[in-house]
Structure 1
Amino acid sequence: MFKHRLMAIGLGVSLLSATAYADYEDDHPLFAAYPKADLEQAQMYDYEKFSLPTSVIDVTKSEPVFTKLDALGDVYWHNYEIENVSSLKVYENYMAAAKQLGFKEVFSCVLEACGDEKQASELGTLIAVRGNVFNEYRKPYYWVGAKESPKGKIYVAWFVGSHEDLVSLQQVIIESEPLETGLVKVDESYANKSAAPTPVEPLSAEEKAKDHSMLPRYPGAKLRTHKKVDTETITIPMARNATDKTPLKLTGDLARHTYEIQNVSTLKVYENYKAALLNGGFSFISQCELDQCGTDKQASELGGQVSVEDNVYNWYRKPYYVLAKKALPTGNVYAAIFIGGHEDEVGLQQIILEEKSVQTGLVNVNADQLKQQIDADGKALIYGIYFDTGKADIKAESKPTLDAIADLLKRNSDLLLYVVGHTDDTGDGVANVTLSKQRADSVVAALVKDYQIAANRLQAQGVGPYAPASNNTSDAGKQKNRRVELVKRLR
């Protein structure tokens, strides 16, 4: 907004005076508002381009067509509303003020000469600060004038229209002036400096321990949340542009992290992680950049599958994703990283999976524990007897568990057992029942042959997948379902 200086000279519109004036907000210093006019809206632009219509508007095309007067300078834009006066009286007063100040007409039209109602409305709209004259296009008057001044040419345009007892005046004043430069100063000493490395604040030992030792955090990154699990199963997605989109189902030591990074681009973070993986000997399995990661929704879903919180919230913009693998003597290591941004913040989702098989033998089964389970529940679940997939031959690493079962039977001579085999739900159900019975037979045979347990104390059964201990939708659940149960027999 801006201030003006005016003096009353007997006209409805007043001209600038250097000797007698009063201060009013928002009017232009050159032309005062019409008496009792309400200023609806005013804007000022320091050095702007503006195209003033200097013809009636052709509205038959998809875009209005008209002759333009292009001006460049300080633009002052006003809309006034005046009640209980005619558009003619307002127009004549502004013309008298312009003539007294020495403005020369560039273009004008009055009433029907401004075209039909649609043309008149479009003419007023083109100079309206509100972008529309609404209903005030009736009885239209339009005038464009110009005047030379010591600092350059001044242009003025008015559109005066009415509706019922209300007149609306659209006003544009453009003060031409050369472009003022030198407002922005260059610090040459800074411009000649070499790029400084990103400052790295030292992390405490506690914070360092939260990162994965193989892939520490980006400089300045704040850890939002993390999770480390010994021997977990996880599904890692492929990028949306991958030819084969089948996700990886992996088991091993799992570390998941979410970091927040301020005032950096997703591109810079991505390029640094990509370089780190390449330097560390990783090969890329799948990756996507920006639009390759899909729509906003698809990118958000991809990031959610990597996130420890299952959600990237607003960090899905300008996305990057990379899934990489490195072979080690102890097994493969996988790294999945999703990077997305929101405003001046980057959110990074990270998975590191060190592949390994489930370590067993950590819990020792003994006769006392088995007896306690049977007394409490009527059965004991055995997970320490191992078979190759689809086979019923007992593997050598099952011996500690067989020792414990034999010890249980020898210390409790009156104990009779059903030895019941169970499988998960992979494959044919009938075939699994047969396989589970064969495995139970193998357990009974081993106890009779190797431990001299009386055959009449044991009875083998197989129920296949029909009595699960957990779900069959995850590897962990299936592992629980593959078991042998010792069920107490009464006779």
Structure 2
Amino acid sequence: MFNRVLAVASLSLALFSSTAMATYERDHPLFSAYPNANLNRALMFDYEKFVFPVSIVDKTRTPQIFTPLEAVGDLYMHHYEIENASSIKVFENYVAAAKKLGFKPVFTCALEECGNEDQLDDLSDMLSVHGDVYNNRRKPYYWVGEKDSPKGKIVAAWFVGAYEDEVAVHQVIVEGEPLETGLVKVDAAYANQGVTPTHVEPLSDDDKAEDYALLPRYPGAQIYNHKKIDTETVTLPFAINAAEKTPLKLTGDLGKHTYTIKNVSTLKVYENYKAALTKASFTFISQCELEQCGTEKQAQDVGDQLALSGDVYNWYRKPYYLLAKKTLPEGNTYVAIFVGGYEDTVGVQQVIVEEKQVQTGLVNVNADQLKQQIDAEGKALIYGIYFDTGKAAIKPESKPALEAIADLLKRNKDFLLYVVGHTDDTGDGTANVLLSKQRADSVVAALVKDYQIANNRLQAQGVGPYAPASNNTSDAGKQKNRRVELVKRLR
């Protein structure tokens, strides 16, 4: 026998007045800790609801089923750790103390009676102040009892489990009591006031320059990061509840912004964005609100796809998402907004795409530039020679690039060149090698026929997709890979 047993507080149940606190660093006044137990964590809530499982968990049903015992009152949750003790001895001491105080058993289970491993996981985790008893669920014992008191019913429960030489005790006690009201006072004068509109400070010139002109920031929002790009390819997701699952792949002027806003709800921010886009005659093609956005992981994934950093961080709680479109003569404009919160801060992920074709002809190739490239690197890259998809015939808009190559060769009579064709990785590799050789042949033929360049100064080769200048996972990368290279020959 231990030299001392679990101490029991006075049988008078005029329990001390409780106040809510985040952590509770004492034992419960009714039940002291087991000898030499270490208090791992405790919480106390002034008037809270707790549901005790009073059966094993039936996991054959979705959601899982168990018999609940609901108690409302002051809630105490304790987690103790005890070394070199057995779970049965610790358990029996707690039950004996409860019965001595007059608690009547409601439900109990021991060892395999508490269910299989999965059932035991769910049963035990409901009693843990952490939401998880971790490894301490071996050799399990569970007991729930209740007792009437002058203030109301008291419900107490213990889950006791072991791991190696350590026993863990998860204790939950609810002291029933009437709900105390009248703690919050109403200022009648304030209550009779009209609604005070949100004060909107005018944006500074610096703020306006950082925002996208189409959609300035929410009042009081701070910019977290942003970028604006002339002509980029971007992918916008549909909401998880949409019938359409294939993301939109768009090319145009891009603006990506992340804003943070203090002391406002995700709902208010979302409704304001939605109202602004509605007023501007945008059509909503996909949207979700709260649970419609799926699990936390699914909502976070949508936010990640819009976030400039690729990570929405903690701003995915209470999520809202919308994808809107406006058709204009010069092209469609798309707006995607993901709004999520964390504690007292809302994060807004905003993406705007104004569709347009990639503008070419902005870079002029000339003989001097080609000579500098060849002298420095032994080769020069030519992007101004155009072909239809899958074809080897040179398009008329290639003339400025061909003229620059011819000028280079005429100024440098000793130059011998390989004309090397390259493709991206779309389609069959062998077919692309053949196509790239045919295109290089076309360039050589045009220089010989139209610009009177000696045939023996040029040699056509094709390497297809096997010497890329960039990635093949984006339109911009593929465009860089579709090129002609002039490589200096020694003989």
Q: TM-score, normalised by structure 2?
A: 0.66
Q: Is the 8 A contact 2:303 2:312 kept in 1?
A: yes
> How far 1:320 moved relative to its partner?
0.8
Distance 1:64 1:367, change over 3 A: closer
Are 2:20 and 1:41 equivalent residues in the alignment?
no
Are 2:297 and 1:309 equivalent residues in the alignment?
no
- What CA distance in whole angstroms lies between the structure 1 residues aligned with 2:470 and 2:147? 85
CA deviation profile, 1:47-90 (whole Å, cap 9, x unmatched): 989xxxxxxxx99xx9899xxxxxxxx99x9xxxxxxxxxxxxx
Look up the match of 1:169.
none
Look up the match of 1:402.
402
CA deviation profile, 1:281-303 (whole Å, cap 9, x unmatched): 22222222111212112211211
- What CA distance in whole angstroms lies between the structure 2 residues aligned with 1:64 and 1:382? 74
Look up the match of 1:120.
99
> How far 1:419 moved relative to its partner?
1.2
Are 2:355 and 1:355 equivalent residues in the alignment?
yes
* SS in structure 1 at match of 2:261: strand
Q: Where do 5+ consecutive residues of structure 1 fail to align?
A: 1-12, 14-25, 30-37, 50-57, 66-73, 78-115, 132-141, 147-153, 158-171
- What CA distance in whole angstroms lies between the structure 2 residues aligned with 1:247 and 1:143? 59
- What CA distance in whole angstroms lies between the structure 2 residues aligned with 1:378 and 1:362? 25
Distance 1:403 1:271, change over 3 A: same
How large is the Cα RMSD of the aligned pairs? Answer: 4.3
Look up the match of 1:217.
217
Are 2:320 and 1:320 equivalent residues in the alignment?
yes
- What CA distance in whole angstroms lies between the structure 1 residues aligned with 2:259 and 2:341? 12
- What CA distance in whole angstroms lies between the structure 1 residues aligned with 2:255 and 2:383? 27
> How far 1:260 moved relative to its partner?
0.9
Distance 1:183 1:244, change over 3 A: closer
Count of aligned pairs: 372
Distance 1:408 1:118, change over 3 A: same
- What CA distance in whole angstroms lies between the structure 2 residues aligned with 1:315 and 1:198? 23
Look up the match of 1:429.
429
- What CA distance in whole angstroms lies between the structure 2 residues aligned with 1:193 and 1:321? 34
Look up the equivalent residue of 2:225 and give its one-letter code.
Answer: T
Look up the match of 1:93.
none
Look up the equivalent residue of 2:352 and give its one-letter code.
Answer: I
> How far 1:144 moved relative to its partner?
8.6
Look up the match of 1:193.
193
- What CA distance in whole angstroms lies between the structure 2 residues aligned with 1:464 and 1:145? 86
- What CA distance in whole angstroms lies between the structure 1 residues aligned with 2:277 and 2:312? 23
> How far 1:382 moved relative to its partner?
0.6
> How far 1:314 moved relative to its partner?
1.4
Distance 1:232 1:39, change over 3 A: closer
Look up the match of 2:203.
203
- What CA distance in whole angstroms lies between the structure 2 residues aligned with 1:27 and 1:271? 48
Q: Is the 8 A contact 2:103 2:147 kept in 1?
A: no
- What CA distance in whole angstroms lies between the structure 1 residues aligned with 2:452 and 2:462? 23
> How far 1:174 moved relative to its partner?
11
Q: Which moved more, 1:297-306 or 1:242-251?
A: 242-251
Greater gyration radius: 1
Distance 1:264 1:490, change over 3 A: same
Distance 1:434 1:64, change over 3 A: closer
Look up the match of 1:341.
341
- What CA distance in whole angstroms lies between the structure 2 residues aligned with 1:144 and 1:358? 78
> How far 1:330 moved relative to its partner?
2.4
Q: Is the 8 A contact 2:289 2:320 kept in 1?
A: yes
> How far 1:308 moved relative to its partner?
0.8
Q: Is the 8 A contact 2:229 2:255 kept in 1?
A: yes
- What CA distance in whole angstroms lies between the structure 2 residues aligned with 1:64 and 1:212? 53
Look up the match of 2:262.
262
Q: Where do 5+ consecutive residues of structure 2 fail to align?
A: 1-9, 18-25, 31-43, 49-53, 56-65, 77-94, 106-126, 128-145, 155-173
> How far 1:182 moved relative to its partner?
6.5
Look up the match of 1:69.
none
Distance 1:39 1:367, change over 3 A: closer
* SS in structure 2 at match of 1:123: coil
- What CA distance in whole angstroms lies between the structure 2 residues aligned with 1:173 and 1:455? 99
